[in-house]
A and B are shown apart, each in its own frame.
Chain A
Amino acid sequence: MPENISNFILLRNIRAKILQKRFLNCIESEFAEEFLELLLKLMSLVFFLNKDFKRNIENFNGRYLFKSKDNKITVAAVFRNNQMKVYEKAIDRTNITVTFRNSKALMDYLLSPKPDILGSILRQDVTIDGNLNHLYKFAYMSRHLQLMVTGEV
Chain B
Amino acid sequence: MQRLNWQLGTVVEIRQETPSVKSLILDVPGWIRHAAGQRVDVRLTAEDGYQTQRSYSIASPPEDTYLMLTVERIEGGEVSPYLTDELRVGDRIELRGPIGGYFVWDANDERNNNSPLFLIAGGSGIVPLMAMIRHRANSAQTVPTKLLYSSSSYEDIIYRDELGRISAKDPSLRVIHTLTRRRPENWTGYGRRIDRAMLAEIAWQPAENQLAFVCGPTALVETVATYLQELGYGPGRIKTERFGPTGG
Partners in one complex: no
